[in-house]
Amino acid sequence: MAEPRISLISDLTPPSLERTWLTAPHPTLPIVATCSSDKTVRVYSLTNFKLLSTITGGHKRSVRTCAWKPHVQGESVLATGSFDATVGIWRRWDSYRNNEAINGDEQDVTGSNADEDEEWRFAVLLDGHDSEVKSVSWSPSGMLLATCARDKSIWIWEDLDDGDNNFETVAVMQEHGGDVKCVAWHPVEECLASGGYDDTIRLWREDLDDWGQVACIKKHEGTVWFLNWEGPETMPASESSDLQNQWQEQRALSGPRLVSCSDDRTVRVWCRLPKETSQPGMSSSAATGIPSIIRPSGTDETWEEDALLPHAHELAIYAVAWSQKTGLIASVGADGRIVVYEERLVAPSPDSDAMETEPSTRPSLQTEWAILAVFDGAHGIYEMNHVAWANRADRGSEGAAEEILVTTADDGSVKVWSLQR
Amino acid sequence: MAEMQNSNPTILNVADLPTRSRSTVKSADYGNGIFAAVANPADFLSSDSEDDDLLEEPIDEQEIYDLIKTISDPEHPLSLGELAVVSLPDIFIKPTLPNVPESPLQTVTVLITPTITHCSLATVIGLGVRVRLEQSLPPRFRVDVRIKEGTHSTGDEVNKQLGDKERVAAALENGALMQVIAKMMETCQ
């Protein structure tokens, strides 16, 4: 078996000439949206890697973040968050589907750009944050939008879907002690994770109509820059399908895990302890810092560090992406390096006696993370701000099973990579 | 800034600040240095780009110092060099990725000594230094500006802000703050 290798497929062209912060792959179409310091969002085709349209005029400062609303029929809905403290909602009919550019047949799409731009309809501006918006995330159903900012708050908005673009503020959470850098919804449940400048990761759920913190993880020693959830269906690599089945049974109890990356140069994986096995001795206030007299203890959750991924970055790690398809994790940061990690099941050794270690609620089946591939200087001398997995679309249907990495950098460039195994 | 925080700072004489004394070095170079073997130095300079790369003058600590010593203090009509807020021995240049020898990335670390330990302008001064270096240096440099250990009561807090790329980026888009920074830079060439 050849050594796994990350190799460049293409740049997205033409790029922004200013720092690009983030690239969001569309949930169903082969397109991505990229957010730039030049106050615009560019939409590119993943079929021919060309610019399809540019969303301008909505924000007065850098566009820091964006996210596609899932489960929308016939239309694409994009939420954008900006340093101008506002969140924009944009709509566009899905004519890209019939557009020749998306099939890669048409080389020149730039001529039609002026017309395409107008097709993005500015729907509504969500005003509420006091300072720069850092991250936005749609809940798995698409009903809820979470936004966060330097004002230390997280807002949850409900999309009323009333045809009139009305959003209602559902909750404002202000427990974070500093900028909230990232928010990310659980892939299945209505559970929100957030991370920030106060070095913590917090988990939030609704209980009796009230959104509240159910866990606070204090283990990173620097700003938590990004969070991503494990897909509900991926599995660690193993020769043995028996082991994989056993692992799946265990995982079913605790649900998808969460991965975080930080200024402290670490990538960590977190796992919820199944409620049934939570230690009775553990005080619930330890998890949230809130005395259980105020919060019903039933909602508190215990999150444990599941893994510290192998050290691979020399500077701050700005983004981490957990493939929903393959279970691989990719990370990028200020050192300009792409790192891909793979989780492998460790065959239980017959000698190891469970009694040797302290009695624990940890699943008996262990995994280990290994570095699968590294690419240095992926954007030359520039820092990378974001990485995402997307479905490969440039070679027709046979590539449907393959995933690509999309990386975003300080010079404005966005690059598309394949992982050859 | 209504009231001065440190009304009587220690001031260094400009003539005593470290310099490279360029003039002497240059004249010596022309006589006996690398140009001596070239009939016409101008020809040598216009040769192909590979040679130009070799000729690129490496950026050293003195050059970093020269870039930031003339920044004005936001409080005094004096430069950061004169106030010894920045000083040559507190500037370091290191490879960013020592394990990747072919990487051109270099990290410039500048340690700042505020004039008094509770100076609330430390963040602004640090931001000014960071902005000055990011605008002057090629992008292969990673700029790391921090408060010298033990010289400020909330040094860790200031360092965290100065090291936060997103906050620095947002600050650059903040008109009021950039006016202050621009004023500090007026005294830089």
Tell me what ipTM this predicted complex has. 0.86
Here the CATH number for the domain that contains residue A35 is: 2.130.10.10
| B130: closest CA of chain A, how far (Å) | 16
A308 found inside a domain: yes
| A37: closest CA of chain B, how far (Å) | 9
Pair (B127, B50) in one structural domain: no
Pair (B66, B138) in one structural domain: yes
Here the CATH number for the domain that contains residue B62 is: 3.30.300.130
pLDDT at B2: 52
Judged by CB atoms closer than 8 Å, whether chains meet at B164 and A19 is answered as: no
Quick one: pLDDT band at residue B10, thresholds 50, 70, 90?
confident
Which residues in chain A touch residue B105, judged by CB atoms under 8 angstroms apart?
A: 335-336, 381
DSSP code at position A28? S
B43 found inside a domain: yes
B1 found inside a domain: no
Residue A159 has pLDDT above 60, yes or no: yes
Q: Which residues are within 8 A (CB) of B97 and not within 5 positions of it... i.e. 6 or more apart?
A: A314, A335, A376, B103, B105
B178 found inside a domain: yes
Which one of A64, A83, A151, A221 would you mutate to disrupt binding with B, by most B Cβ within 10 Å of its Cβ?
A: A83
For residue B104, the chain A residue with the least C-alpha distance is A381
Which one of A35, A314, A371 would you mutate to disrupt binding with B, by most B Cβ within 10 Å of its Cβ?
A: A314
DSSP letters, B93-151, are: EEES-TT-TT---EEEEEEE--SSTT-TTHHHHHHHHHHHHHHHS-TTEEEEEEEPTTS
B150-169 pLDDT, tens digit per residue, is: 998 889 999 999 999 999 99
Which residues in chain B touch residue A379, judged by CB atoms under 8 angstroms apart?
A: none
DSSP code at position B75? S
Quick one: pLDDT band at residue A289, thresholds 50, 70, 90?
low
Lowest mean pLDDT among A57-61, A192-196, A323-327, B26-30: B26-30
Which residues in chain B touch residue A132, judged by CB atoms under 8 angstroms apart?
A: 166, 170
A296 found inside a domain: yes
Phi-psi region of A199 (alpha: psi -120 to 50; beta: other; left: phi over 0): left
Closest-CA residue to B185 (of B109, B132, B141, B133): B132
For residue B146, what are the domain limits? 58-185
Pair (B50, B63) in one structural domain: no
Pair (B72, B156) in one structural domain: yes
Q: What amino acid occupies position A158?
A: E
Judged by CB atoms closer than 8 Å, whether chains meet at B103 and A377 is answered as: yes
Considering B37, B56, B75, which residue would you say is the last residue of a domain? B56
Pair (B159, B66) in one structural domain: yes
Radius of gyration of chain A (CA): 21
What is the rounded average pLDDT for all residues in chain B?
Answer: 82
A356 found inside a domain: no
Residue A286 has pLDDT above 60, yes or no: no
Judged by CB atoms closer than 8 Å, whether chains meet at A132 and B163 is answered as: no
Strands B106-112 and B141-147: parallel
Closest-CA residue to A228 (of A253, A200, A198, A194): A194
A303 found inside a domain: yes
B2 found inside a domain: no
Greater confidence (B121 vs A116) lies with B121
pLDDT at B43: 44
Point out the residue among A62, A132, A314 whose CB comes nearest to the CB of B96.
A314
Sheet containing A167-173: give its strands across: A133-138, A144-149, A154-159, A167-173
Closest-CA residue to A16 (of A63, A48, A86): A63
Q: Which residues are within 8 A (CB) of A169 and not within 5 positions of it... i.e. 6 or more apart?
A: A128, A155, A156, A157
- The token pair at A385 is 């701000």
Radius of gyration of chain B (CA): 19
pLDDT at A292: 47
SS3 state of residue A403:
strand
The H or E element spanning position A213 is: strand A210-217
For residue B144, the chain A residue with the least C-alpha distance is A315
* Mean pLDDT value of segment A378-383: 97
Which one of A132, A198, A311, A413 would you mutate to disrupt binding with B, by most B Cβ within 10 Å of its Cβ?
A: A132
A70 found inside a domain: yes
Query: Any alpha helices (H) in A232-333, and if so which ranges?
Result: 241-254, 284-288
- The count of domains in chain A is 1
Pair (B73, B138) in one structural domain: yes
Quote the distance between the C-alpha of residue A70 and its chain's center. Answer: 14
A357 found inside a domain: no
A391-415 pLDDT, tens digit per residue, is: 999 875 555 579 999 999 999 999 9
For residue B143, the chain A residue with the least C-alpha distance is A334
Which one of B109, B166, B174 would you mutate to disrupt binding with A, by most A Cβ within 10 Å of its Cβ?
A: B166
C-alpha–C-alpha distance, residues A218 and A209, integer Å? 27
Pair (B107, B48) in one structural domain: no
C-alpha–C-alpha distance, residues A35 and A41, integer Å? 5
Considering B32, B56, B80, which residue would you say is the last residue of a domain? B56
For residue A379, the chain B residue with the least C-alpha distance is B140
Greater confidence (B12 vs A171) lies with A171
Judged by CB atoms closer than 8 Å, whether chains meet at B103 and A376 is answered as: yes
Lowest mean pLDDT among A86-90, A172-176, A233-237, B103-107: A233-237
Closest-CA residue to A329 (of A372, A297, A265): A372
B52-75 pLDDT, tens digit per residue, is: 445 567 899 999 999 999 999 998
A354 found inside a domain: no
Backbone angles phi, psi at A158, to 5 degrees: -100, 130
DSSP letters, A76-111, are: EEEEEEETTSEEEEEEEE-GGGG-HHHHT--S--GG
- The token pair at A157 is 């908005």
Pair (B27, B79) in one structural domain: no
Report the share of chain A in percent with pLDDT over 70. Answer: 84
Quote the distance between the C-alpha of residue A352 and its chain's center. Answer: 37
SS3 state of residue A17:
coil
A355 found inside a domain: no
Which residues in chain A touch residue B99, judged by CB atoms under 8 angstroms apart?
A: 314
> What residues does A205 pair with on adjacent strands?
A191, A212
> What residues does B165 pair with on adjacent strands?
none
Residue B137 has pLDDT above 90, yes or no: yes
Compute the half-sphere exposure of residue A165: CA atoms within 13 Å on the CB side of its CA: 13
- The token pair at B19 is 């310099």
Q: Are A19 and A83 in contact (CB under 8 A)?
A: no
Q: Are B148 and B111 in contact (CB under 8 A)?
A: yes
- The token pair at A208 is 């009796």
Pair (B74, B167) in one structural domain: yes
Pair (B172, B88) in one structural domain: yes
Judged by CB atoms closer than 8 Å, whether chains meet at A410 and B103 is answered as: no
**CA A242-A244-A248 angle, 5° bins:** 120
Point out the residue among B99, B100, B170 whose CB comes nearest to the CB of A83.
B170
- Three-state helix/strand/coil letters over B77-89: CCECCCCCCCCHH
For residue A142, what are the domain limits? 5-348+362-420
C-alpha–C-alpha distance, residues B134 and B58, integer Å? 17
Which residues in chain A touch residue B163, judged by CB atoms under 8 angstroms apart?
A: 263, 316
Beta carbons within 10 angstroms of residue A70's beta carbon: 16
Pair (B28, B115) in one structural domain: no
pLDDT at B32: 45
C-alpha–C-alpha distance, residues A136 and A82, integer Å? 10
C-alpha–C-alpha distance, residues B87 and A32, integer Å? 47
pLDDT at A372: 97
* Mean pLDDT value of segment A20-34: 97
| B172: closest CA of chain A, how far (Å) | 10
What is the rounded average pLDDT for all residues in chain A?
Answer: 88
Rounded to two decimals, the pTM is 0.86
| A381: closest CA of chain B, how far (Å) | 5
Q: Are A50 and A109 in contact (CB under 8 A)?
A: yes
Closest-CA residue to B181 (of B84, B87, B68, B60): B68
A244-283 pLDDT, tens digit per residue, is: 999 998 888 889 999 999 999 999 999 999 875 444 444 4
Point out the residue among A132, A181, A334 whose CB comes nearest to the CB of B142.
A334
Pair (B40, B101) in one structural domain: no
Q: How far is CA A360 from CA A178, A219, A252, A354, in A?
A: 34, 20, 18, 9
Which residues in chain B touch residue A315, judged by CB atoms under 8 angstroms apart?
A: 96, 142
Quote the distance between the C-alpha of residue A224 and its chain's center. Answer: 13
Helix, strand, coil fractions of chain B, as percent rounded to 5? 45, 10, 45
- The count of domains in chain B is 2
Judged by CB atoms closer than 8 Å, whether chains meet at B160 and A19 is answered as: no
Lowest mean pLDDT among A165-169, A188-192, A360-364, A385-389: A360-364
| B57: closest CA of chain A, how far (Å) | 19
Taking an 8 Å Cβ-Cβ cutoff, which residues of chain A contact chain B?
19, 37, 61-62, 64, 83, 131-132, 134, 150, 179, 181, 197, 223, 263, 314-316, 318, 334-336, 376-377, 381-383, 410-411
Ranges assigned E (strand) in A128-185: 133-138, 144-149, 154-159, 167-173, 180-185
